[in-house]
C-alpha cells in the first residue's frame, strides 16, 4: 500500500498522454502484448482488464507502473504547404493496483478477492508551436482523468469468476487557443479554459476458463460523464475590446465512452501464451464539446464544437514466451479504428486508423518481485479538411511509450 | 543472458529516440507549369500598390497581394520584385495628403468616447509626393492609387506641369519620364514574362466614393483613353504583345465594401417626443415618423420638396459627418443628408450596370488571350456572407469583419493575403502550375488599442 501511495505522489502532477482520448496503458504485461489482457489473467492489472478474473489470481499483490509517453506531431497545411509542429511534453500515465484475498481455505471469504485500481484510461495532451497556422482553433489541450476503482471479485466455481468495481473518476481539462484580435503590442488575444472534472461509473467482468488452456473474458466499462461544474475561462485581449470578452466561470461536460471487451487467452504450452481482445468503444457519446459561460456578450457566445464521433472497434493480439524462471518476452500488435469521421479531425486529437506494435520484457529477480517493461510505437497519418474550421491538411504523429512496473507479491 | 537483456533495452531506447523525432511530411514540389514568373510586373490601382487605411505606407506596400504573389513565385523561379517603397519610417500619405488611419478612441459631440478610426497624425508625409524614387526603378509593382483603366494609358499621367488634379502624384514619384510615360508604357518597357492586371475599380468607385455627386462612371464605349472596353483591350494587347502570360481580376461590386454598408439606412432612433416633433416638421411634405428606428431624411432633387426618406436600397457613405447627424439634425429635423454622402438606389443601379458591363469585357479580354481570370466580384460576395480560414471567421464588415482596412475600401494584410490566394488559384488552374498559397494567418488584421 505504501508503494502505491508514493507512486501517486510522484506522478499526480504530471500530464497524461494518449492517442485519441483513450489511453491503452493500464498494465506493462498487457502493453507488451499490444493491450490484450481481458481473457488472459496474469496480475493485479486484472482489476482494470477484467474484474471477473481477479478472483483467479493466486497471490496477493501490489503493483505500480508508469509509462513515459512521447508524442510528436507535424501538420502540413494543404494550401500553403507550411509545416507546423507540436511541442508536446512527455506525459507519464501511471497505474497502481492492489489485490488481496484471504489465503485460509476454510474462510467464508476464500472465494473472494478484493482489489483497488488507480489508472488513467482517458487523457490527451497536444501543444502546438507558437504561431502555428491553426492557432485560432487550438494551441493547447490537456485532458487528464484518473479512475479510482474499488473492486470485488467472486470465484463462482473452478471455471467461472465474476467481479465488479465502482469507479470514481476525477480529472481536469485545459484548452487554449489564440483569438484573432491583434493588440498594439503585436500579440494576438488568447482564450484559456481550465477546470477540474469528476464523474462516476463502473467496471464489471466475467472470466470463464473452460479448459486448462483456454480462457475467455467479457467486460463492460460504463460511460463516465465528466462534468466541469466550476471552470475558469480567462480571455486575454486588447484593452479596447476587453469588455466584450469577460473572463469568468464556465461549465462543461465531457463524456468518456463505454467500452465492452471480449477477450481470449490460450496457453499453447507451459512457455507460450496468446491473448486476443476485441474492444467496442462507444464514442458516439461525444457529439458536441460545449462550454457554457456564466457571462456572455454579443461577441462571446457559448462555445459549441462539433465532434460527431462514431462508435468504433479495436483488435489486439499479443503473445508472451517464458524464456526461463526469470525472464519472459512479449510482443503484440493492435488495430484501432478511429472514432473521428472525415471532416471532423481537429488538431486536438488528429486520430487515424492505426496499427501499433508493442514488445515487452518481464524479469523476476526474486520470488516476490517482478519487474515488467514495455515499449509501444504508433505512427498515425491523417489527411482531412475540417468542415467547421476549414483547416485542411495532413497530420502525422509518432508516439512512443516506454513503461515500467514493479509487482510485489505477499 | 544479461547481455541480451541489455541489448534489448538499448534497442528499445534507440527506437524510443527515433520515435521522439518530429515526423516529416513530404512537401509537394511546387512547379510553374506553363507560366514563366522570372520577370513579374503588376499593373493596377491602389489595391495593387498596397494602399490601406486611407494611405500608402511602407508596411502596407510590403503586404500588397502582388508582393505576396511575387514571394510565392520565387518558389518556382520568380525573380526580384522591386516596389516604389515609401521610407520605412514615414507615416505615409493618402490621396488628399492625409495620414493613414489607426483604430483609436474618439469622443463625439454627445461626449461619448468610442473606438473609431483616427488619423495617426494631422497630416500625411507630403515629401512622398515630391521625392521621386524613379532612380531606383523600374518597378515591378506598377500599382498606382487612383488609377483607372482609362488613365492607365494616359501619357503624362505623372506630369506635375499639368497642375494639381490633372496628374497623379503617386505615378509622378515612380516614373522616370513623368511627361511622356503612361503606366502601361512603363510596365511594357520592362518586357515582363508574367503580369497581373487588376484595374477598373476606380472607373466606377471614384464616382461611388463621391456619392455620385461628382466624378463620373467611365463609359463603356469610346476610343482608347475614353471608353472602358477599347482601353481595356488595348492594355491587354500591350501586355501580351511579347507573348507574356498573365492573370486578370475583375471588379467587385461596390456594395460589398464596408464603406457603403456600415451605417444603417434606418439609424434615426426617435422617442415619442422627437417623433412628434419630426412629424410636425415633415408631415406636410409627406414624410412620416414613428417611435423607434426610422430611416434618415436625405436630399434627393428628384423627390418632391427635394427630400425623401432613405430606403434599404440607398447606401450611406462611411465619411458622412456623424456629429452633424447626432447633434445638429442632419438627416432629421435640420434637413436631408447631402447627396454626396448617399449613394441612391438609382446611382447604385447605374454603378451595377457599369460594373457588369466592365466585368463582361474583362472576362472576354482575358479569354481572348487565354489569361488566368480571377472573379474578384464573386469572391467579395462570398466573403460578404462570411468565410472561415483555418479557424478564423472573416467577412466584409467594417473593423469586426477582419479583412478590410480602416478606410472601409481597401483590404488589410489579411484581405490582401486572401486576394493573393484567389490569384494563385486562378494561375494554378490556368497554367497547370502548383504554386502554394500564402498562409493567411501570418498576416495581420486591424490592430486594436
Query: Which triple of cell numbers denotes residue B401?
Result: 469583419
* Nearest residue on chain A to B392, alpha-carbon basis: A136
C-alpha B172/C-alpha B185 separation (Å) is 14
CB pairs under 8 A between A and B: 122
Q: What is the CA radius of gyration of chain B?
A: 26
CA angle A229, A233, A238 (to 5 degrees): 165
pLDDT reported for residue A298: 85
pLDDT band at A10 (very low <50, low <70, confident <90, very high): very low
Distance CA B279, CA B170 (A): 50
Count of other CB atoms within 10 angstroms of residue A220: 16
> How is residue A244 annotated by DSSP?
G
Give pLDDT, residue A52.
Answer: 97
CA distance A134 to A126: 13
CA A141 from chain centre, in angstroms, equals 15
| Cis preceding linkage at A347, omega within 30 | no
Cβ–Cβ < 8 Å for A41, A219: no
Q: Identify the three-state secondary structure at position A186.
A: coil
Q: Do A76 and B27 touch (CB under 8 A)?
A: yes
Residue A12 and residue B116: Cα distance in Å, rounded?
50
pLDDT in tens, chain B (449 residues): 556 666 666 665 555 555 557 888 999 899 999 999 999 999 999 999 999 999 999 999 999 999 999 999 999 999 999 999 999 999 999 999 999 999 999 999 999 998 999 999 999 999 999 999 999 999 999 999 999 999 999 999 999 999 998 999 999 999 999 999 999 999 999 999 999 999 999 999 999 999 888 899 999 999 999 999 999 999 999 999 999 999 999 999 999 999 999 999 999 999 999 999 999 999 999 999 999 999 999 999 989 899 999 999 999 999 999 999 999 999 999 999 999 999 999 999 999 999 999 999 999 999 999 999 999 999 999 999 999 999 999 999 999 899 999 999 999 999 999 999 999 999 999 999 999 999 999 999 999 99
Q: What is the pLDDT of residues A100-110, one digit of tens each?
A: 999 888 888 99
Residues in B closer than 8 angstroms to A244, CB to CB, are: none
Q: What single DSSP character describes residue A108? A: T
Contact list in B for residue A301 (CB cut-off 8 A) is none
B225 touches A: beta carbon within 8 Å = no
At B6 the pLDDT is 60
The distance of Cα A75 from the centroid of its chain, to the nearest Å, equals 23
Give residue for cell 523600374. Answer: B138
Three-state secondary structure call for residue A17: coil
Spatial separation of the C-alpha atoms in residues B207 and B225, rounded to whole Å? 17
Q: Look up the ipTM and state it.
A: 0.91
Contact predicate B296/B331, CB 8 Å: yes
Q: Which three cell numbers stand for residue A68?
A: 513515459
Which pLDDT score, from 0 to 100, does residue B148 have? 97
A237 and B448 within 8 Å at the Cβ level: the answer is yes
Q: What is the mean pLDDT of residues A195-202?
A: 95
Per 3-state DSSP, chain A is made up of helix, strand and coil in percentages (nearest 5) of 10, 60, 35
Please tell me which of the candidates B19, B439, B442 has its beta carbon nearest to residue A398: B19
Query: What local confidence, expressed as pLDDT, does residue A130 receive?
Result: 93
Q: Give per-residue pLDDT as tens, A203-245.
A: 999 999 999 999 999 999 999 999 999 999 999 999 999 999 9
- The answer to whether the CB atoms of A83 and B27 lie below 8 A apart is yes
- The answer to whether the CB of B366 falls within 8 A of the CB of B373 is yes
| A27-59 tens-digit pLDDT | 999 999 999 999 999 999 999 999 999 999 999
pLDDT at B3: 60
- Whether A375 sits inside 8 A of B24 (CB atoms) is no
Measured CA to CA, the distance from residue A353 to residue A380 in angstroms comes to 7
**Could you read off the pLDDT of A266-286 as tens digits, one per residue?**
999 999 999 999 999 999 999
Q: Assess whether the previous peptide bond of B138 is cis (omega < 30° from 0).
A: yes
Name which of A34, A144, A364, A277 is nearest B5 in CA terms: A364
Interface test with B, best of A375, A379, A382 (most B CBs within 10 A): A375
Is any Cβ of chain A less than 8 angstroms from the Cβ of B20?
yes
A70, A379, A389 member nearest B388 (Cβ) = A389
Averaged pLDDT for residues A11-24:
46
Torsion region of B97: left, alpha or beta (phi above 0 gives left; psi -120 to 50 gives alpha):
left
Distances (CA, A) of A288 to A193, A284, B392: 16, 10, 19
- Distance from C-alpha of B130 to C-alpha of B118, rounded to nearest angstrom: 25
Cα nearest neighbour of B24 on chain A: A74
Q: Which residues of A touch B388 (CB under 8 A)?
A: 388-390
| CB proximity B284 to A under 8 Å | no
C-beta separation of A395 from A380 below 8 A: yes
Give the pTM. Answer: 0.92
Quick one: A211 exposed, middle or buried, by C-beta within 10 A (0-12, 13-18, 19+)?
exposed
The model's confidence at residue A17, banded by pLDDT at 50, 70 and 90, is very low
Q: Which residues of B touch A134 (CB under 8 A)?
A: 390-391
Sorting pLDDT into bands at 50, 70 and 90, what band is A383?
very high
Task: State whether residue B24 sits within 8 Å of chain A by CB.
Answer: yes
Q: Once rounded to an integer, what is the mean pLDDT over residues A64-83?
A: 93
CA–CA gap between residue B261 and residue B348 (Å, rounded):
12
Query: pLDDT grade, residue A14 (50/70/90)?
Result: very low
Distance between CA atoms of residues A322 and A328, nearest Å: 4
Give A13 or B67, the one with higher predicted confidence. Answer: B67
Q: Which of A252, A63, A62 is nearest to A171 (CA)?
A: A252
Residue where the block lists cell 476587453: A242
Contact call for B25 and A76, based on CB within 8 A: yes
Which residue from B115, B34, B53 is spatially nearest to B406, judged by alpha carbons? B53
Cα–Cα distance, B106 to B302 (Å, whole number): 36
pLDDT for the residue A24: 83
pLDDT the model gives residue A89: 79
DSSP classification of residue A89: P
Amino acid at each position: 500500500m505504501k508503494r502505491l501511495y508514493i507512486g501517486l505522489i510522484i506522478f499526480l502532477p504530471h500530464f497524461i498522454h494518449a492517442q485519441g482520448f483513450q489511453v491503452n496503458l493500464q498494465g506493462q504485461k498487457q502493453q507488451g502484448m499490444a493491450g490484450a489482457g481481458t481473457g488472459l489473467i496474469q496480475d493485479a492489472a486484472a482489476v482494470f482488464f477484467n474484474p471477473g478474473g481477479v478472483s483467479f489470481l493466486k497471490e496477493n499483490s501490489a503493483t505500480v507502473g508508469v509509462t513515459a509517453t512521447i508524442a510528436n506531431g507535424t501538420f502540413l497545411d494543404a494550401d500553403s504547404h507550411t509545416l507546423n509542429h507540436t511541442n508536446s511534453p512527455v506525459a507519464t500515465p501511471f497505474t497502481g493496483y492492489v489485490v488481496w484475498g484471504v489465503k485460509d481455505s476454510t474462510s467464508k471469504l476464500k472465494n473472494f478477492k478484493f482489489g483497488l485500481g488507480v489508472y488513467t484510461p482517458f487523457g490527451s495532451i497536444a501543444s502546438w508551436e507558437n504561431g502555428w497556422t491553426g492557432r485560432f482553433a487550438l494551441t493547447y489541450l490537456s485532458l487528464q482523468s484518473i479512475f479510482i476503482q474499488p473492486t470485488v471479485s467472486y470465484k463462482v466455481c473452478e471455471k467461472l469468476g465474476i467481479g465488479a468495481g465502482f469507479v470514481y473518476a476525477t480529472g481536469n481539462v485545459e484548452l487554449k487557443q489564440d483569438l484573432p484580435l491583434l493588440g498594439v503590442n503585436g500579440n494576438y488575444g488568447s482564450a484559456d479554459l481550465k477546470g477540474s472534472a469528476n464523474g462516476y461509473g463502473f467496471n464489471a467482468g466475467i472470466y470463464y476458463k473452460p479448459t486448462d488452456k483456454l480462457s475467455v473474458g467479457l467486460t463492460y466499462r460504463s460511460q463516465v460523464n465528466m462534468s466541469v461544474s466550476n471552470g475558469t475561462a480567462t480571455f486575454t485581449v486588447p484593452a479596447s475590446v476587453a469588455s466584450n470578452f469577460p473572463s469568468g466561470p464556465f461549465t462543461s461536460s465531457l463524456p468518456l465512452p463505454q467500452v465492452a471487451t471480449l477477450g481470449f487467452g490460450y496457453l499453447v504450452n507451459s512457455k507460450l501464451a496468446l491473448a486476443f481482445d476485441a474492444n467496442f468503444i462507444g464514442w458516439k457519446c461525444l457529439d458536441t464539446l460545449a462550454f457554457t459561460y456564466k457571462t456572455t456578450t454579443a461577441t462571446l457566445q457559448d462555445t459549441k464544437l462539433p465532434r460527431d464521433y462514431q462508435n468504433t472497434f479495436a483488435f489486439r493480439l499479443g503473445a508472451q514466451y517464458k524464456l526461463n524462471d526469470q525472464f519472459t518476452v512479449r510482443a503484440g500488435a493492435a488495430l484501432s479504428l478511429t472514432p473521428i469521421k472525415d471532416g471532423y479531425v481537429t488538431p486536438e486529437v488528429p486520430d487515424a486508423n492505426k496499427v501499433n506494435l508493442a514488445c515487452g520484457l518481464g524479469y523476476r529477480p526474486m520470488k516476490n518481485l517482478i519487474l515488467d517493461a514495455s515499449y509501444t510505437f504508433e505512427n498515425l497519418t491523417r489527411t482531412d479538411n475540417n468542415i467547421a474550421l476549414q483547416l485542411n491538411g495532413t497530420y502525422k504523429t509518432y508516439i512512443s511509450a516506454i513503461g515500467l512496473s514493479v509487482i510485489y507479491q505477499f | 543472458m544479461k547481455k541480451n537483456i541489455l541489448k534489448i533495452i538499448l534497442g528499445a531506447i534507440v527506437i524510443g529516440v527515433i520515435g521522439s523525432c518530429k515526423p516529416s511530411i513530404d512537401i509537394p514540389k511546387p512547379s510553374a507549369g506553363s507560366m514563366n514568373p522570372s520577370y513579374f510586373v503588376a499593373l493596377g490601382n491602389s489595391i495593387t500598390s498596397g494602399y490601406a487605411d486611407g494611405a500608402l505606407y511602407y508596411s502596407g506596400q510590403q503586404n500588397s497581394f502582388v508582393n505576396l504573389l511575387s514571394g510565392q513565385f520565387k518558389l518556382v523561379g520568380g525573380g526580384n520584385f522591386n516596389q516604389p517603397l515609401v521610407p520605412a519610417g514615414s507615416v505615409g500619405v493618402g490621396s488628399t495628403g492625409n495620414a493613414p488611419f489607426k483604430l483609436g478612441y474618439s469622443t463625439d459631440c454627445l461626449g461619448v468616447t468610442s473606438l473609431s478610426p483616427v488619423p495617426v497624425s494631422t497630416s500625411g508625409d507630403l515629401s512622398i509626393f515630391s521625392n521621386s524614387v524613379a532612380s531606383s526603378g523600374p518597378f515591378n509593382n506598377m500599382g498606382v492609387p487612383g488609377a483607372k483603366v482609362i488613365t492607365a494609358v494616359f501619357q503624362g499621367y505623372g506630369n506635375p506641369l499639368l497642375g494639381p488634379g490633372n496628374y497623379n502624384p503617386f505615378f509622378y514619384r515612380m516614373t522616370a519620364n513623368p511627361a511622356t510615360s503612361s503606366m502601361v508604357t512603363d510596365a511594357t518597357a520592362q518586357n515582363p514574362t508574367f503580369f497581373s492586371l487588376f484595374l477598373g475599380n476606380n472607373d466606377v468607385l471614384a464616382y461611388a466614393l463621391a456619392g455620385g455627386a461628382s466624378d463620373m462612371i467611365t463609359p463603356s464605349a469610346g476610343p482608347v483613353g475614353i471608353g472602358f472596353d477599347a482601353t481595356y483591350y488595348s492594355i491587354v494587347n500591350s501586355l501580351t504583345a511579347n507573348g507574356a502570360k498573365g492573370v486578370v481580376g475583375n471588379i467587385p461590386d461596390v456594395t460589398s465594401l464596408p464603406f457603403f454598408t456600415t451605417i444603417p439606412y434606418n439609424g434615426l432612433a426617435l422617442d415619442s417626443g422627437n417623433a412628434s416633433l419630426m412629424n410636425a416638421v415633415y408631415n406636410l411634405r409627406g414624410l412620416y415618423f414613428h417611435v423607434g428606428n426610422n430611416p434618415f431624411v436625405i436630399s434627393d432633387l428628384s423627390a418632391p420638396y427635394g427630400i425623401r426618406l432613405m430606403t434599404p436600397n440607398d447606401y450611406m457613405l462611411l465619411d458622412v459627418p456623424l456629429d452633424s447627424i447626432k447633434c445638429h439634425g442632419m438627416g432629421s429635423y435640420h434637413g436631408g443628408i447631402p447627396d454626396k454622402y448617399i449613394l441612391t438606389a438609382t446611382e447604385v443601379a447605374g454603378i451595377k450596370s457599369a460594373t457588369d458591363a466592365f466585368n463582361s469585357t474583362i472576362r472576354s479580354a482575358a479569354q481572348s488571350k487565354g489569361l488566368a481570370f480571377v472573379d474578384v466580384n464573386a469572391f467579395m460576395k462570398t466573403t460578404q456572407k462570411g468565410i472561415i480560414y483555418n479557424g478564423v471567421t472573416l467577412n466584409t464588415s467594417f473593423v469586426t469583419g477582419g479583412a478590410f482596412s480602416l478606410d472601409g475600401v481597401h483590404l488589410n494584410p489579411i484581405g490582401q493575403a486572401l486576394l493573393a490566394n484567389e490569384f494563385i488559384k486562378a494561375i494554378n488552374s490556368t497554367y497547370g502550375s502548383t504554386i502554394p498559397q500564402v498562409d493567411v494567418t501570418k498576416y495581420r488584421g486591424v490592430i486594436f488599442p
